[in-house]
Amino acid sequence: MSTALAQAALKAHRPAFVGTAVAALFAATVVSASLMILVSTGTHDVPAAARHAITANGVGDIATVLLIGSIYMSIFVVVSTMGTAVAQQHRELALVRAIGARPRQVRRAVALQALVASVPAALLGFAAGGVLARFWFHGMVTHDLIPASVPFRFSWLALPVCLAVAVVTTTIAAFLASLRFSLLRPARALDEAAAGRRRLGLLRAPLGVLAFAGAGFLSVLLSQQSADDANQGAFLVLILFCVGVGLLGPRLIGPAAWLVSALIGRIGPGARLAMLNIRSQPRRFSAAVVPLVLVVGFGVTKIALRTTAAHVTGSAGSPGEVWLDYMGTALYAGFAAIASANTLAMISLERRRDVALLRVVGSQRRQITAMAFWEALVVAGTALLLGAAIAGVTLAPILASAFGSPFPYVPWSLAAAVALTTAALTVTSTGVPVRWAMRGQAVRVLQG
């Protein structure tokens, strides 16, 4: 029965599992590249002078951190993507529970769906990782982190590791995404599938508040420490804030979207409709906003530390260490951006019948496109607002300890680049699926 459920879901919700495959592909690429860097810089096969340079620059430690971080982020991204994919199947899962399917059969079916999508992606990611590893290796040589005499080595060891990571992470993600819904009584599952879940869990809200309180307390504490201690503790502040946003996302997105849309809502009916859609579906849109908040918060924090240091002291640090910092930032931002883009695309594709209904009652294509455009801008603006606030609070104790002022120096060009990139990501991830959803005759879509 689990196999039949998985096959039916894959046919009915193909776009959702394309998103899971993309997330698994990116994760496998980074895992493969990180492992190949570790193999290539293994100090037991290189001359003593090169071994000393590699060890002194911490290249092996950096590759290990990237490997562990990519595995952690792959779980986060696949859980986020699978959560949305499973939410789209709530009606079907509720029906099979009503006719006698057991909770473990539902969970097994979801896990099988994830594996079918992610294992082929892991194979492609292994090959792509070889290309990315060569790029990283060349960059490390260029920035004098690795001696030019050390050769790059392609490693087949990355293949079983990529497959193992894909199997383990997608199984964990599928289990977490389907656990609660599979345990609901059939009648409750049908009701929730129709109306959606409106309340946060019993532990989710208190834990979210506790995460925010902990981040605020630690930020105040770090402002009284030395610059080095504040810098080391800042990452924990950032993580606590991001955890809080993740837990309280459905409650935060409403007020934040209201602030962003206070101006946008006056522009026209498309903007007002977009605002109402987001505020009426906070759970769905928070799944897209939270990864974007991670992108903005983490990216601005890491980059602003360098730009402020360069503005105050004239130097952002060692060129090799700065390059590595930016590479790591781009890596984690890429994971979060994929999670957000997947979620927005799946939300848009899921509303194909809603779009068809709007067309039947007389809405023109340009009006629906305008609604999707403003929806994307509200999501982007909300993420920028929350992400910038988190970055500001995280940076304050570090900058106060290091430079005597809690305010970062962020060039206007950088701020504009972050805002435009975030907006471009949301507009593309929302607009392209909506235009695809408008293909064909609306009446046939409603009859299907």
d(CA 301, CA 163): 33
Least confident of 24-28, 44-48, 246-250: 44-48
- Give the end of a domain, one of 197, 218, 234: 197
pLDDT above 80 for 424? yes
Alpha-carbon 334 to chain mean position: 8
> Do 209 and 118 have their domain in common?
no
C-alpha 231 chain-centroid distance: 24
User: Which residue, of 197, 221, 251, is where some domain finishes?
Assistant: 197
Based on C-alpha coordinates, what's the Rg of the chain?
23
CA torsion sign, 163 to 167 to 168 to 172? positive
Indicate if 193 and 217 belong to the same structural domain. Answer: no
Cα–chain center distance at 109: 24
pLDDT for 130: 92
Distance, CA of 227 to CA of 399 (rounded, Å): 8
Q: 254 with 390, same domain?
A: yes
- The values of phi and psi at residue 199, to 5°, are -110, 155
Residues 174 and 206 in one domain: no
Same structural domain, 261 and 390:
yes
Q: pLDDT tens digits, residue range 383-423?
A: 888 889 888 888 888 888 788 888 899 899 989 998 998 88
pLDDT at 1 over 60: no
Structure tokens at 17: 């599992």
Neighbours of 447 (CB within 10 A): 8
Write down the pLDDT at residue 15.
Answer: 61
Q: What per-residue string of b and e applies to 29-41 under the rule 16 or more CB within 10 Å gives b?
A: bbbbbbbbbbbbb
What is the spatial distance between Cα 298 and Cα 241, in angstroms, rounded to a whole number?
Answer: 11
The answer to whether residues 245 and 345 belong to one domain is yes
Residues 185 and 305 placed together within one structural domain of the fold: no
Cβ contact 295:387 at 8 Å: yes
- Residue 123: predicted pLDDT: 92
CA distance 127 to 248: 38
Count, in order, helices (H) and strands (E) of the chain: 17, 0
Band of pLDDT at residue 124, cut at 50, 70 and 90: very high
Helix locations, 265-281, DSSP H:
269-280
pLDDT digits (tens, 9 = 90+) for 268-298: 666 777 777 776 776 677 777 877 887 888 8
Percent of the chain with pLDDT over 70: 80
Quick one: 247 and 268 in the same domain? yes
Residue 160: its pLDDT value, please? 92
Domain stop point among 197, 218, 236: 197
Domain of 446 in residue numbering reads as: 201-448
Average pLDDT over the chain reads: 78
Tens digit of pLDDT for each residue in 235-255?
778 778 877 887 787 777 767
66 falls in which pLDDT band (50, 70, 90)? Answer: confident
Residue 127 — very low, low, confident or very high, per pLDDT cuts 50/70/90?
very high
Q: Say whether both 161 and 85 belong to one domain.
A: yes
Closest to 136 (Cα-Cα) out of 70, 56, 47: 70
User: For residues 75 and 167, is the Cβ–Cβ distance under 8 A?
Assistant: no
The residues, any chain, with a CB within 8 Å of residue 336's CB and separated by 6 or more, are 73, 77, 291, 292, 294, 295, 298
Number of folded domains that form the chain: 2
* Position 126 confidence tier, pLDDT thresholds 50, 70, 90: very high
Q: Are residues 157 and 258 in the same domain?
A: no
Minimal CA–CA distance to 423: which of 349, 337, 359?
337
Q: What is the pLDDT of residue 264?
A: 61
Is pLDDT at 334 greater than 70 in this prediction?
yes
CA–CA distance, 225 with 220 (Å, rounded to integer): 9
* Angstrom distance (rounded) from CA 72 to CA 85: 20
Q: How far apart are CA 114 and CA 261, in angstroms?
A: 36
| 295 and 353 housed in the same domain | yes
Do 135 and 227 belong together in one domain?
no
Whether the predicted pLDDT of 8 surpasses 60:
no
